[in-house]
Amino acid sequence: MDTVVSKTEKKTGSRPGTLAACPVTHLKGIGNKTAEKLKRLGIATVQDVLFHLPLRYEDRTRITPIGSLQPFEPAVVEGIVELADIKFGRRRMLLCRISDGTGFITLRFFHFSAVQKEGLARGRRIRCYGEVRNGPQSLEIVHPEYSFVEENETMPVEETLTPIYPATEGVHQLTLRTLTDNALVLMQEMPLQELLPAALCKRLSFPDLHEAINWIHRPPNDVSISMLMDEKHPAKQRLVFEELLAHQISMKQLRQRARKHHAPVIKEKNRLEAKLLETLPFVLTKAQQKVIGEIKDDLAKSFPMQRLVQGDVGCGKTLVAVMAALSVVEAGMQAAVMAPTEILSEQHFNNFCQWLQPLGIHITWLTGKQKVAERRQAQEEIVTGKAQIVVGTHALFQEDVSFNNLGLIVIDEQHRFGVHQRMALREKGKNGQQYPHQLIMTATPIPRTLAMTAYADLDVSVIDELPPGRKEVETIVVSNDRRDEIVARVHHACKEGRQAYWVCSLIEESEALQCQAASDTAVLLQDCLPKLKVGLIHGRMKPNDKEQVMSAFKQGEIDLLVATTVIEVGVDVPNASLMVVENSERFGLAQLHQLRGRVGRGSEKSSCVLMYQAPLSENSRTRLAVMRETSDGFKIAQRDLEIRGPGEVLGTRQTGMMQFHIADLIRDQALIPDANKTSEELLAQYPENAGLIVRRWLGETEKYGNVG
């Protein structure tokens, strides 16, 4: 065992009882400086070393005759140095030619020393590894790893496949492999704690933890690399499952902690709700009624509601939020509604006013761009309780805003806000020992397996029914070369009394440039269509100006509205039956689906034209094909997940807890239901094991599960 124990440990004779508590400095050759560098990789203990898993593998278990080499394949070769010369071209380089009797190959070095050149002396035997490429005169390997084989020496090849680990500056692959070798030896003496129930491992045909760890770090040479990278081997699945489980547990711990808090118990009265329903020109769908019932059940409990409402574009989520707010207002408390953008918060404010002001409910709007006097008045109404419902952006929860008696927080477009922000909002609304209820809404449907992982701390409701009368929107994909045809189509639609949108893409990551592009397009379209009234709306306009434009469009005073993506959500104009999206290949699927949802809200047949600039990438071609094939938001979300991955689908702010080491939510989604069920079992029956699994896989990020 001396081969793996550090000098410090030999002196002290001490060793922690578990690998989870054993500092990495207990391994041979790891001093404080190297330990500091390893921290950048999340490695602080010997257990961390064992769970720092390979990214990929290389096969160095056999020597390939040079005459049998194929381009673009990595290989181990051994031969005699025939020459080594420095060449001068555009770059100075060292060229070394080796031969083994079956052929020769060139080794090319761009970075080298005089000592290195001298070492590559004619007649020396060398073994090297690298990717074989086609060179100017022969096959070659650029910057191979190599070592010299001394005369009369037999150098064995690797017995297992060679792992390639995530590395950092100052910590190279050889260091990581040696470190792992030592940790694997130590693991035989100090076994890792098995934290999964034996019955579960048996049911899922998982190997034990030691076998899985050994196999992952040092896979036998008879395993194909393609099988390894396919991630379907039981040893890999065993570890993938445990990582998925760690995330599930972390989120459920968050949920458990939230349920220990107190919240106002809001009993059902329904007087205001009944009055509102009498004024509506339509009947709620069964799906809306079901979700409203689930929310009322939550509000009647003594711990804070944490519910996510998912629904496709136009399913009526806003009205569900209005009903929830009414219940809270009727109980004498305030409700706050937060949207991610100014224009969406403004749209919500207008809708709430339209529905609730006739009932005598006072609604206040608060955003960061208001003038000082307006903002001060809004803050006064909020702190005194005059504002029964407050609608705004994240400005609602800044330090200078104080609520009088906040009972409910509604967060729209949840994927734009992270979990930490969600918890911060809850803290803002704390009143004594009571926390407000939270209702989270998204018009971006999230595939079930992803929701099960990303929102495991929430109860999830789905509005899976559209109001009657909503017609499916015809989706057409055309090249920008046919722009004149599309302009003619817009002219025809507007001449028949309908209205249209023309959406300009974000050409660069600059709001100013995007607005300029929209302004230029509006001018060009007005020139092409002189008999139509063309309007313009973008994110840099003042709120009053945007409101005037949108009001004119809703009232039919504008035929064609040129816009940036500010109209992505929240805009409802039933007479608009045509949408044109320029450079649609620049948009994600979810955003295209949201934009398409702005039409098809009236009785007329509606169309969405997706224009693209050729040539299309394969990814863009796939996205546009999906839009043409389906209008089902959940199917689109699943394809979006497959194309872009979970981080992009959820939004960058949401992905703090989504940084998996080896799990993949798409590839491994079949394991998620089992991980979800097992997390509940462990928390109920083996809470200590649950905590250890979280610490093993999330390490420093364990604080994610401790928020709130």
**What is the SS3 string spanning 78-122?**
EEEEEEEEEEECCCEEEEEEEECCCCEEEEEECCCCHHHHHHCCC
Which CATH number is correct for 271-463, 3.40.630.10, 3.30.1490.100, 3.40.50.2300, 3.40.50.300? Answer: 3.40.50.300
Residue 545 has pLDDT above 50, yes or no: yes
pLDDT beyond 50 at 190: yes
When pLDDT is averaged across residues 316-326 and rounded to a whole number, the result is 93
pLDDT tens-digit profile of 334-365?
999 998 877 788 888 988 999 999 999 999 99
pLDDT band at 4 (very low <50, low <70, confident <90, very high): very low
Position 657 scores a pLDDT of 43
Look at 444-458, 601-615, 693-707 and tell me which has the smallest mean pLDDT: 693-707
Please give the pLDDT value at position 287: 93
Q: How confident is the model at residue 707 (pLDDT cuts 50, 70, 90)?
A: very low
Residue with the bigger pLDDT between 402 and 634: it is 402
Token duo for residue 43: 């490695």
The mean pLDDT value for 104-124 works out to 93
With 80 as the cut, is the pLDDT of residue 434 above it?
yes
Query: Residue 11: pLDDT above 90?
Result: no
Here the tokens at position 239 are: 């570890």
Q: Do domains 271-463 and 474-630 have the same CATH topology?
A: yes
58 closest CA partner among 155, 154, 140, 173: 173
Sign of the torsion angle spanned by Cα atoms 234, 236, 242, 248: negative
Domain range 62-157, CATH class: mainly beta
Provide the pLDDT for residue 647.
54
Beta strands 56-58 and 162-164 are antiparallel
Region 95-123: mean pLDDT is 94
User: What is the model's pLDDT at position 542?
Assistant: 81
Please report, rounded to a whole number, the percentage of residues in the chain having pLDDT higher than 90: 48
pLDDT number for residue 118 = 92
The reported pLDDT for the residue numbered 570 is 54
Domain definitions of the chain by residue range: 7-57+164-230, 62-157, 271-463, 474-630
List Cβ neighbours of 675 (8 Å cut-off, separation of 6 or more): 241, 244, 245, 248
Helix axes 672-685, 234-259, angle to 10 degrees: 50
CATH superfamily of 474-630: P-loop containing nucleotide triphosphate hydrolases (3.40.50.300)
pLDDT of 217 strictly over 70: yes
Say if residue 655's pLDDT is above 70. Answer: no
| Segment 175-182 mean pLDDT | 94
Distance, CA of 359 to CA of 623 (rounded, Å): 45
Give the strand pairing for 92-99 and 104-109. Answer: antiparallel
Place 50 in a pLDDT band, splitting at 50, 70 and 90.
Answer: very high
Locate 412 and state its tokens.
């729209």
* Weakest mean pLDDT among 337-346, 387-396, 432-441, 685-694: 337-346
**pLDDT over 80 (residue 107):** yes
The pLDDT assigned to 14 comes to 40
Please state, as a whole number, how many other Cβ atoms lie within 10 Å of the Cβ of residue 583: 17
pLDDT grade for 653, boundaries at 50, 70 and 90? very low
Is the pLDDT at 648 greater than 60? The verdict is no
pLDDT above 50 (res 82): yes
Statement: residue 421 has pLDDT above 70: no
Q: Where are the extended beta strands (E) located within 161-206? A: 162-164
**68 pLDDT higher than 60:** yes
How remote is the C-alpha of 522 from its chain's centroid?
35
Q: What is the pTM of this model?
A: 0.70
Across the chain, mean pLDDT equals 85
Of 564 and 82, the one with more pLDDT: 82
The residue among 350, 289, 277 whose CA lies nearest residue 316 is 289
| Mean pLDDT, range 390-412, rounded to an integer | 89
pLDDT, one tens digit per residue, over 444-460 is 777 777 777 777 778 88
Per-residue pLDDT at 185 exceeds 70: yes
Q: Is the dihedral of CA 367, 372, 376, 378 positive or negative?
A: negative
Confidence of residue 667 (pLDDT cuts 50, 70, 90): confident
37 pLDDT higher than 80: yes
- Residues 44-50, mean pLDDT to the nearest whole number: 93
* 389/338 Cα distance (integer angstroms): 11
- Rg (alpha carbons) of the chain, rounded to whole number: 32
254-300 residue pLDDT tens: 888 888 889 999 987 778 999 999 998 888 999 999 999 999 999 99
* pLDDT tens digit sequence for 486-538: 999 999 999 999 999 999 875 444 455 555 678 889 999 999 999 999 999 88
Asked if 249 and 694 touch (Cβ cutoff 8 Å), the reply is yes
Q: What is the pLDDT of residue 1?
A: 34
- Cα–Cα distance measured from residue 133 to residue 288, given in angstroms and rounded to the nearest whole number: 62
pLDDT at 198: 86
Tell me the residue type at 515: C
For the segment 367-378, what is each residue's pLDDT rounded down to a tens digit? 887 889 999 999
Lookup: tokens for 699: 């390490």
According to DSSP H, which parts of 193-341 are helical? 198-203, 209-217, 225-229, 234-259, 271-279, 286-299, 317-330
| Average pLDDT of the segment spanning 32-57 | 92
pLDDT at 17: 64
